[in-house]
Amino acid sequence: MQLRRILLPLFPALALWCAPIAHADPLSAMQADAQALNAMAQTWPQLQAAAQSYGQLAPYASAMWAGPGPVVTTPWGYREQCHNTRWDTTTQYLVTGGLNIGGDAEAEAYAIQAVATDFQEQLSQYLVTLAQSGNPQEEALANEILAQKGPLLQSLDTLTALLNTTANQLSDAMGPSTDLQPLPISHWQAGIGDAPNLSQVRYLPGPNDGAPIGWYAGMAPSSIWIRLEDICPTGTASLPILPLKARVEQAVQQALVDEPSLGQVVQPLESGSTWTAPALFSGFGGVGLNPVRERLVAALAADETGIAGYMAPISGPLSQYNGEVQRILKEVASGDD
C-alpha cells in the first residue's frame, strides 16, 4: 500500500545522532525531555494498537458499508439508485483515520529519537556541571548517576537499533517481492490526526423517507420528475474518536525544542491527512458497480496490519528507556534534597 511510502524516508534519519543543543539549564531540559518521553511511552502502543485494529475492517469493505448503495423500486416501477449513507457517515472516515495513524507514527518516531537523544546529551552536560562544582555532595550525586548511565545508553542503543530494523523491514516491503496493496484514490497525504475507535462504531438505520440523493433509472438527472418520490434509506453513525492528535503534536513540539531542524520534516504532517476520491463514475457516486470503495477499505485493512507489525517491536525498548530516564530523574531529585 502506498501509505507506507510516507513512512519510508523517516527511518534512515533515525540512525543519525542529533547534534547536542546547548541549554542554559540542563536539568530543566532533562525534566522536559523526561515528561515528553513518558507521554510517548504511553502513546506509541496506542498508535500501534490503533493500526492493528484496522486489520479487522472486513465488514466495512463489504458492499453494504462501502459499495454504491442500495437500489430500490418505487411504486411506479422505477428503480432508484440510492446513496450509501453508511459510507458517508462512517466508512470514509476510516480512510482518513488510517492515514492519520501513518502520519502520527512518522511524527512520533522522529520525536522519540530527538527527545531520547537529547536527554542523554543533557544528562552528560549536567554530570559535568556536578563534577566541576567543587561541592562534595554534588560530586557524590554525579558518581551515583554515572552508575546508572550505562543501562541508559544500552537501552538507547537498543531502541535506535530497532528503529533502524524497522527501516529495513519497510525497505524490504518496497522491494521486488512486495505485497503492497494499491490505494485506488487519486491524491493523498498522511498527517497528524485522530483515529476512529473501531471497537465502538455504531450505525443506526433510519426510515425510507427521504435520502437526499437518488435517481430513477432511465431518467435524466435534470428531469423535474426525478424527485417525484424518494424512498431511499437513511441513517446516522456513531464514530467515537481516539484523541491521538494532541498527544503527538505535544511530543513533536518538545522534539522541535531539542532539534529545530526537524521542523522541515514534520511541518507537512501538521496539516493533517487528506485524500481525494476518484472520478464520479469510479464507484464513488455513479450507477456502476465498480467496487472502488470496497477495495480501498480492504487495502487499508491489509496494510495497517503491516504497519502495526513494524511498530510493535518499538514499544518494549521505548518503555525500558523511559524507565531508565525516570529512575535517573528520581535519583537527581533525591540527591538535591
Nearest of 190, 186, 185 to residue 292 by alpha carbon: 185
**pLDDT classification of 82: cutoffs 50, 70, 90:** confident
Quick check: is 25 in a domain? no
Nearest of 183, 119, 163, 139 to residue 328 by alpha carbon: 119
Quick check: is 188 in a domain? yes
Q: Give CA separation, 49 vs 4, 113, 199, 273, 278, in Å.
A: 17, 21, 11, 19, 30
Quick check: 142 and 127 in contact, CB under 8 A? Answer: yes
Partners of residue 250 on adjacent β-strands: none
Q: What is the pLDDT of residues 51-72, one digit of tens each?
A: 899 888 888 888 888 887 888 8
Lowest mean pLDDT among 110-119, 143-152, 170-179, 327-336: 170-179
Indicate if the pLDDT at residue 219 is higher than 70: no
**pLDDT classification of 298: cutoffs 50, 70, 90:** confident
Say what the pLDDT of residue 16 is: 30
Q: What is the pLDDT of residues 114-155, one digit of tens each?
A: 999 999 999 988 888 888 877 888 888 888 888 877 888 888
- Domain encompassing residue 72: 43-206+233-336
Quick check: 304 and 49 in contact, CB under 8 A? Answer: no
Q: What is the percent of the chain where pLDDT is above 70? A: 73
Look up the pTM and report it: 0.79
Say what the pLDDT of residue 237 is: 85
Say what the pLDDT of residue 278 is: 61
Quick check: is 218 in a domain? no
Between these two residues, 78 and 298, which has the higher pLDDT value? 298
CA distance 300 to 302: 5
Residue 55 is given by DSSP the state G
Say what the pLDDT of residue 5 is: 33
Query: With the C-alpha atoms ordered 289, 293, 298, 302, is the resulting torsion angle positive or negative?
Result: positive
HEC sequence for 179-213: CCCCCCCCCEECCCCCEECHHHCEEEECCCCCCCC
Nearest of 250, 242, 284 to residue 266 by alpha carbon: 250
Per the structure, the count of domains in the chain is 1
Quick check: is 157 in a domain? yes
Give the DSSP H/E element, type plus range, for residue 60: none
Quick check: is 120 in a domain? yes
Residue type, 276: T
CA distance 268 to 11: 17
Quick check: is 136 in a domain? yes
- Helix, strand and coil in the chain, % to nearest 5: 60, 10, 30
**pLDDT classification of 43: cutoffs 50, 70, 90:** very high
Cell 503527538 found at = 248
Say what the pLDDT of residue 87 is: 84
Greatest mean pLDDT range, 84-93, 219-228, 304-313, 323-332: 323-332
**pLDDT classification of 224: cutoffs 50, 70, 90:** low
Indicate if the pLDDT at residue 1 is higher than 60: no
Quick check: is 100 in a domain? yes
CA 136 to chain centre: 48
CA distance 302 to 182: 11
Indicate if the pLDDT at residue 10 is higher than 50: no
C-alpha cell recorded at residue 163? 528503529
Quick check: is 29 in a domain? no
**pLDDT classification of 34: cutoffs 50, 70, 90:** very high
Say what the pLDDT of residue 194 is: 95
**Those residues with Cβ within 8 angstroms of residue 313's Cβ, 6 or more apart along the chain or in another chain:** 162, 165, 166
C-alpha cell recorded at residue 205? 438505520
CA distance 173 to 34: 34
